[in-house]
Amino acid sequence: MRLASTVGVMAEITRRRVGELQRAVLKILFEQPEGLPAKEVLKRMEQVVPPSEFEKSDYPNRPGVQRFPKMVRFATIGPVKAAWMTKDKGKWYLTEEGKKTYSKYPDPEDFRCESHRLYHQWADKQPKELDEELVAEPGAIEKVADASSTFEEAEENAWSEIEQYVQVMNPYDLQKLVAALLRAMEYHVSWIAPPGPDKGIDNLGAQRPTRNWHSAYKGPG
């Protein structure tokens, strides 16, 4: 029964399909030089490469968790390690190398093959403890896609929550937060404007200390 299930999965997730997903991600980012939030990329993917019935279905042991976004995230591992795209603070960006590769390999299978080759090239330089499942053939996607995207999604959600929190912060609290961040970056904050008619829209008096000065005086706080 397990063998039949595995064969069915491999039939659904072909090498060509992985290449289609990878190229579609790069296509979306190609049109957005400033990058896009990962959730927006995943949303647009459904229009660029509509998911199959299998991809739209949920994981059997995870009701409500659809396969498609997990598969897309897993498919981006190769392009990231190949330096074709980057992920930072919940946003995905296309690199110059990614633009060249997108144009150079119009065929999805060729694209996936080059991504796979460069991933192996990267993996060969990593510690031997590297999870071998991450360099497996497309049939392994069903097995590890869900797990491999968990940390990534958690990080994206964290940055999104931080951004939302900062946007609604009291201006004076934001002012104090900026001062604290500057101190953490080893700036000496000499002045913070008191509450006034400008409603907290102030600059802070801050100076980056020299190495010698900082050793003698670290400033308040």
Q: How confident is the model at residue 4 (pLDDT cuts 50, 70, 90)?
A: very low
Let me know: does 44 contact 28? Beta carbons within 8 Å. yes
More confident residue, 209 or 94: 94
Greater model confidence, 193 or 45: 45
| pLDDT: which is higher, 114 or 182 | 114
Please report the pLDDT score of residue 44 as a whole number: 97
CB 189 within 8 A of CB 205: yes
Using pLDDT thresholds of 50, 70 and 90, give the confidence band for residue 128: low
Q: Residue 57's pLDDT is what? A: 92
Tell me: pLDDT of 136 over 80: no
User: Which pLDDT value is given to residue 152?
Assistant: 65
Position 63 scores a pLDDT of: 85
CB 208: neighbour CB atoms within 10 A? 11
pLDDT in tens, 15-58: 899 999 999 999 999 999 899 999 999 999 999 999 999 999 98
Statement: residue 6 has pLDDT above 50: no
Mean per-residue pLDDT, 116-132? 76
Domain boundaries, the chain: 2-166, 170-216
pLDDT of residue 109: 95
What is the radius of gyration, based on Cα positions, of the chain? Answer: 23
Output phi, psi for 65, to 5 deg: -105, 105
Tell me what the mean pLDDT of segment 124-152 comes to. 55
More confident residue, 94 or 13: 94
- The 3-class secondary structure across 80-118, one letter per residue, is HHCCCEEEECCEEEECHHHHHHHHHCCCHHHHHHHHHHH
Residue pLDDT, tens place only, 157-175: 555 556 666 677 677 777 7
